[in-house]
Homo-oligomer: A and B are copies of this chain.
Amino acid sequence: MNNAVDVIELEMAILVRRLVSMTTYKKTGNLDRSAYLLLYQIDSYGSAGVKALSDEFHLDISTVSRQAAALEQKGYVRRIPDPIDGRAYSLEMTEAGLEVLNENKKARQDSIGKMLSNWSDGERVIFGELLRKFNTAILEEASE
């Protein structure tokens, strides 16, 4: 029982190092990790402001602000001023953004698909579920 936690602890530490290395340096596609997630989020849940995104991601507002500026500069999102609140605006996906997101998604999926090519379907499904559950657990723990 405790043993399983020990394994998870170690493997998580290893995983982070490898994933960071993979996604930051020898990156798949041309979007960095954060840009990718930002676009993913906007695509999945619709336009949002910097504040909402930083809350969602548990990142500092300043970090998201810069990421958003970078995305805008590349033409992947556009800024829509909030009609009610003069301070706020929301980030809306552009056509180019959607395109680049989908390309990247595909590249990443292919890459993972290759790694898991000799896994059984059952293993993949369970691994996906447990990963999702773990991510949820992290969120809950962090917000306590």
Contact = CB atoms under 8 A, between A and B. Distances in A.
A9 to B, nearest CB: 5
A18 B131 contact: no
A137 interface: yes
Interface in A1-56: 1-2, 4-23, 33-34, 36-37, 40
User: For the complex, would chain A's binding face be called helix, strand, loop or mixed by DSSP majority?
Assistant: helix
A112 interface: yes
A81 interface: no
Contacts of A20: 16, 20
A116 B130 CA distance: 11
B127 A141 contact: no
B5 A112 contact: yes
B127 A115 contact: no
Nearest to A110: B5
Contact of A109 (B5, B23, B119, B135): B5
A21 B4 CA distance: 23
Contacts of A108: 9, 13
Nearest to A19: B16
B5 A141 contact: no
